[in-house]
Chain A
Amino acid sequence: MAQATFEEISASDFFYRNRDIAGFTNPSRAVFAAIRELVENSLDAAESLKIPPEIYVRLSFEGEVGKDTQIYKLRVGDNGSGIQPRFIPSAFGQILYGSKYKLKQMRGTFGLGGKMAVLYGQIMTHQPAKVTSSTGSTKIYSFKLMIDIQRNRPIILDRKVLVNKEQWRGTIVEFTLEGDYLRAKSKILEYFKQTAMVNPYANLTFVDPKGRLYKFTRVTTAMPDPPKETEPHPFGVDVELLQRLIQVTPYRNMLEFLKQHFHRVGDITAQKFLEFSHLSPSKNPKRLSHEEVVRLMQNLKKFKDFLPPDASCLSPLGEELLKAGILKELKPEYLVVNQRKPSTYAGHPFIIEMGIAYGGEIPKKGNFLIYRFANKIPLLYDEASDVSFRVINSLNWRRYKVSPDMPIAIVVHICSTKVPYKTVGKEFIADRPEVRREVANALREIGRQLHRFLSKREHVDREKRRLSIFAKYLPKIAQFSSHLAGKEKLPDVKKLIKSVQKYGEET
């Protein structure tokens, strides 16, 4: 019988072996995933400084690999905050680099950012990635990097320092990867279109391998306040996070530990909680036994007097910007948006923003068009599993005089420090009661307003039809009766037509 062997693998190794969960399933999915990871990093980088993003993406053909696979060079450049030179190698060459003890609303779905993309590119093409960045200082730093997969360490192949004459700020990432652009094309374009919808202040430029230029131009320079970092709320912690906090904390007593590492925990709340869980305020957190940590976690969830999470750390789009984005990309005849008040699930604050667009350039599909967004990025897969899809389809639309064969698009945006994705694929939102309730309330609100619009329009249409009937027939009556009566002069019916031109129902 063979002896089972165990070996330690690095994070890079792990993700390489399990690249499916990061979305690099096949060549077409990979090229899409690589673009979106880097674009989302770039958007975050610009937004953190509240600068309207300017993002340039170029995918160029490098050579054939097989029937369905080609080698492409991907270049993504932005005008974001830039990266300090000492962090560049780790930021792109080491998986899971970065602090995880604080929470912040971020786009990057996996926190892997471009690392996974770079890793994937390296594995498939054995080419180094080139990262150029400046924080706007006098120097531009340019690195050629590879990842030592077994050791999860960056390998710096080349490092250049250039003079930043024009005070350029931003980051440019360039690497080669295998992919299937032809298959991925429609998803990629849809991704840009939808990204432009929830980022109406961004300029997005995409040049595809055929040299075609796709440009999504901003309609505003107004931007939402950037998201702020926040400590985890006591309801939302698990044993793992507690233990990591205990490891790194500089505080030597429980009172300070609670006050400093948790969201909305002040002196009084911390004291009350310690009393509740029979812990001494002066106890050193590092001395907690494993059982005590587990009990602490359970008590954190049980204790009723924690203040609810504060949503001020979130960065929703806001009704004005959502409106601008939808108008720009969908060009509807009518649009109404609604932003719900912040709510929370499991200790995480979230905000639902929703829009419903009618007519104009929106096609009739026999079904509502649903656009889903989480933290300002589009979700393009697994629509039918999403909570908002279910809420939308279970609503009694007849009450709102709406039917699925109308040209209607519904836009749902959820922003949160932790988006409640259902699966590791992170393509749809889980059906949590708190989220479902907010989605349903937002939907009902915009449904009511759409109903008002439709009713009013129907009324106007009916009135128009009514008038057109009189306008069509009265002159004929005049003509026929004049002929019968043998009169030359037609009676004037304009006044009569005008007299029915008022509101009011016929009896």
Chain B
Amino acid sequence: MVKKRKSSVAKKKSEIVGSLKSFGTKVYDQLYSGYFPSINMPSRSTENINYDPHLRQFILGDKSVRRSARNIRHVKPFTQLVWAARFSHELASQRKTSTLRDVYYSAQAYEMTFKDQQESNNIITDLETVLGFSREDFNIFPEERSAVFGDLTIEYTVPGYEGRKLNLTSHPDGVMIGPALTSSEFVSTTADKVIAIEKGGLFTRFIEENVHKKFNAVLVLTAGQAPRATRHFIRRLHKEMDLPVHIFTDGDPWGMHIAMVIISGSANAAHLRELNTPDAKWSGVWASDIINYKLPTDPLDEVDIKRLYELQRDPRYQENPLWQKEIKKFLRIKRKAEQEAFSRYGLTYIVDEYLPAKLEETK
């Protein structure tokens, strides 16, 4: 069965260019009328970050901060913010991409030196907060390392490739989820699910073992904690192509949290929407799996245990009883296991036995 896309990319692009322009106009108008320009934006301080059970992600509360060019301490960051908007506007309208590191250096051409990378990153986050779009939307990308493989046909929108189509099975290593892929339209797919995998080794194994065919799945490599572009990509697969999402990680608190950030987002991105996939499922490796499959394990160390207690209190982990159950189990057995632990039963065991069982269990 071939699914047709519900396009979002082109519409979003014009929204972004429009919002950058209207931000600039607002500042311009204030200056033109002889006022010090100022803007209000939601506060990103910890006490203003709340978990919203309906959206199933962190959101910013009602507190807002005012940044005014009248204030000696604000005038520099304010200028940096307007510069960042101008820079993003140029990227978006010329359809060029850039990285946070680029931003840091590009500023110097305008005598807008940032003290350090952190300062310029903060300004980009400010711009995200003011406009409500993520930096990837302004074509500012982090270093990419995640990838996708499976029967999904996309159509590029980046200059020079407009209209070109690509089937994501065409490269046996998978295709990097970079700016070009992020900004492409989804055309069609025969897959009926997404399987997100934490580690590169297993991602390659799955491709070799034809998991995409056997289970009719699009495979996504998160390469550890999923970058925002990848989280957004997974969300689009879910929303636009109606694909359920299964996440496979290591059996430890860190793997668990990789799944959670894909599902419910992070506090750092509380000012942004549409990065999470609330209906995605964590399919393993659970503490229960460690017991049931008698997996070879390592003991939990102090940091792991501390992290488990933190997660136990985290509002995102209150949603589904599965989380609390598994956390308790980890704390009881005090062991952890990696995805590779299944190799004990032969290299294909994970694909032949474990995967079908878990997909069924978390359907």
The interface stretch among A116-124, A126-134, A214-222, A477-485 is A477-485
A493 to B30, CA, bound (A): 11
Complex: chain A residue closest to B31, CB-CB: A491
Given contacts A473-B76, A485-B29, 4 further A-B contacts (CB under 8 A): A477-B82, A480-B82, A483-B86, A484-B86
In-complex Cβ contact of A477 among B20, B31, B111 (8 A): B31
Residues from 451 to 485 in A contacting B, C-beta threshold 8 Å:
466, 469-470, 473-474, 476-478, 480-485
Q: A473-B78, A495-B34 are in contact. Are A485 and B72 (CB under 8 A)?
A: no
Sample (17) of A-B pairs whose CB atoms are under 8 Å apart? A469-B72, A470-B72, A473-B79, A474-B69, A477-B37, A477-B69, A480-B79, A480-B110, A481-B28, A481-B37, A482-B24, A484-B21, A485-B27, A485-B28, A491-B32, A496-B34, A506-B73
The interface centre, meaning the residue of B23, B78, B83, B110 with most chain A CB atoms within 10 A of its CB, is B83
Complex: chain A residue closest to B73, CB-CB: A506
In-complex Cβ contact of B79 among A477, A484, A506 (8 A): A477
Asked if A487 is an interface residue, CB under 8 A from chain B, the answer is yes
The interface centre, meaning the residue of B72, B76, B111, B112 with most chain A CB atoms within 10 A of its CB, is B72
CB atoms of B34 and A477 under 8 A apart: no
CB atoms of A485 and B25 under 8 A apart: yes
Q: For the complex formed, measure the closest distance between the CB of B79 and the CB atoms of chain A, giving whole angstroms.
A: 4
Asked if A486 is an interface residue, CB under 8 A from chain B, the answer is yes
Asked if B36 is an interface residue, CB under 8 A from chain A, the answer is yes
CB atoms of A477 and B72 under 8 A apart: no
Chain B residues near A473: list those with CB within 8 A: 69, 75-76, 78-79
Chain B residues near A466: list those with CB within 8 A: 72
Complex: chain A residue closest to B77, CB-CB: A473
Total interface residues on B, CB under 8 Å, equals 30
The interface centre, meaning the residue of A476, A481, A483 with most chain B CB atoms within 10 A of its CB, is A481
Q: A473-B69, A491-B32 are in contact. Are A484 and B75 (CB under 8 A)?
A: no
Asked if B89 is an interface residue, CB under 8 A from chain A, the answer is yes
Chain A residues near B83: list those with CB within 8 A: 476, 480
Question: Per-residue CB proximity of B92-129 to A under 8 Å, as 1/0?
Answer: 00000000000000000011100000000000000000
Asked if B71 is an interface residue, CB under 8 A from chain A, the answer is yes
CB atoms of A487 and B28 under 8 A apart: yes
In-complex Cβ contact of A484 among B28, B70, B73 (8 A): B28
Q: Which residues of B contact A (CB under 8 A)?
A: 20-21, 23-25, 27-29, 31-32, 34, 36-37, 69-73, 75-76, 78-79, 82-83, 85-86, 89, 110-112
A480 to B354, CA, bound (A): 57
Total interface residues on A, CB under 8 Å, equals 23
Complex: chain B residue closest to A467, CB-CB: B72
CB atoms of B82 and A484 under 8 A apart: yes
Q: A476-B83, A496-B34 are in contact. Are A482 and B75 (CB under 8 A)?
A: no
Q: For the complex formed, measure the closest distance between the CB of A490 and the CB atoms of chain B, giving whole angstroms.
A: 9
A469 to B78, CA, bound (A): 12
CB atoms of B31 and A478 under 8 A apart: yes
Chain B residues near A470: list those with CB within 8 A: 72, 75
A466 to B70, CA, bound (A): 11
Q: A495-B34, A506-B71 are in contact. Are A483 and B79 (CB under 8 A)?
A: no
Q: A477-B82, A480-B82, A491-B28 are in contact. Are A486 and B72 (CB under 8 A)?
A: no
Chain B residues near A483: list those with CB within 8 A: 24, 86, 89
Chain A residues near B89: list those with CB within 8 A: 483-484
Q: Which residues of A contact B (CB under 8 A)?
A: 466, 469-470, 473-474, 476-478, 480-487, 491, 493, 495-496, 500, 506-507
The interface centre, meaning the residue of A473, A474, A487 with most chain B CB atoms within 10 A of its CB, is A473
Chain A residues near B69: list those with CB within 8 A: 473-474, 477
CB atoms of A496 and B27 under 8 A apart: no
Q: For the complex formed, measure the closest distance between the CB of B174 and the CB atoms of chain A, giving whole angstroms.
A: 38
A379 to B258, CA, bound (A): 78
Q: A470-B75, A474-B69 are in contact. Are A482 and B28 (CB under 8 A)?
A: yes
Complex: chain B residue closest to A476, CB-CB: B79
A482 to B89, CA, bound (A): 12
Q: For the complex formed, measure the closest distance between the CB of A486 and the CB atoms of chain B, giving whole angstroms.
A: 7
Q: For the complex formed, measure the closest distance between the CB of B77 and the CB atoms of chain A, giving whole angstroms.
A: 10
CB atoms of B28 and A476 under 8 A apart: no
A466 to B75, CA, bound (A): 10
Complex: chain B residue closest to A493, CB-CB: B31
Chain A residues near B111: list those with CB within 8 A: 476
CB atoms of A481 and B82 under 8 A apart: yes
Q: For the complex formed, measure the closest distance between the CB of A439 and the CB atoms of chain B, giving whole angstroms.
A: 43
Chain A residues near B32: list those with CB within 8 A: 491
A478 to B24, CA, bound (A): 10
Q: For the complex formed, measure the closest distance between the CB of B90 and the CB atoms of chain A, giving whole angstroms.
A: 8
A251 to B244, CA, bound (A): 128
CB atoms of A476 and B112 under 8 A apart: yes
Q: Top 9 A-B pairs ranked by shortest CB distance?
A: A484-B24, A491-B31, A481-B27, A485-B28, A485-B25, A481-B28, A473-B79, A480-B86, A491-B32
A507 to B76, CA, bound (A): 16
Chain B residues near A500: list those with CB within 8 A: 70
A162 to B279, CA, bound (A): 123
Chain B residues near A478: list those with CB within 8 A: 28, 31
Chain A residues near B71: list those with CB within 8 A: 506-507
Complex: chain B residue closest to A482, CB-CB: B28
A473 to B31, CA, bound (A): 13
Chain B residues near A486: list those with CB within 8 A: 21
A474 to B71, CA, bound (A): 11
A476 to B85, CA, bound (A): 13
A252 to B31, CA, bound (A): 99
Complex: chain B residue closest to A470, CB-CB: B75
A486 to B23, CA, bound (A): 12
Q: For the complex formed, measure the closest distance between the CB of B87 and the CB atoms of chain A, giving whole angstroms.
A: 9
Q: A481-B31, A485-B25, A491-B32 are in contact. Are A474 and B75 (CB under 8 A)?
A: yes
A480 to B112, CA, bound (A): 11
Q: For the complex formed, measure the closest distance between the CB of A460 and the CB atoms of chain B, giving whole angstroms.
A: 16
In-complex Cβ contact of A480 among B24, B36, B70, B76 (8 A): B24
A478 to B86, CA, bound (A): 12
Q: For the complex formed, measure the closest distance between the CB of A503 and the CB atoms of chain B, giving whole angstroms.
A: 14
Q: For the complex formed, measure the closest distance between the CB of B20 and the CB atoms of chain A, giving whole angstroms.
A: 6
Q: For the complex formed, measure the closest distance between the CB of B35 and the CB atoms of chain A, giving whole angstroms.
A: 8
Q: A473-B79, A480-B79 are in contact. Are A485 and B37 (CB under 8 A)?
A: no
A466 to B23, CA, bound (A): 27
Chain B residues near A491: list those with CB within 8 A: 28, 31-32
Q: For the complex formed, measure the closest distance between the CB of B50 and the CB atoms of chain A, giving whole angstroms.
A: 30
A493 to B112, CA, bound (A): 18
Complex: chain A residue closest to B34, CB-CB: A495
CB atoms of B21 and A476 under 8 A apart: no
A496 to B31, CA, bound (A): 9
A474 to B30, CA, bound (A): 12
A309 to B83, CA, bound (A): 76
A482 to B30, CA, bound (A): 11
CB atoms of A481 and B24 under 8 A apart: yes
Chain A residues near B29: list those with CB within 8 A: 485
A474 to B76, CA, bound (A): 9
Complex: chain B residue closest to A474, CB-CB: B69
In-complex Cβ contact of B76 among A469, A481, A482, A487 (8 A): A469
Chain A residues near B21: list those with CB within 8 A: 484-486
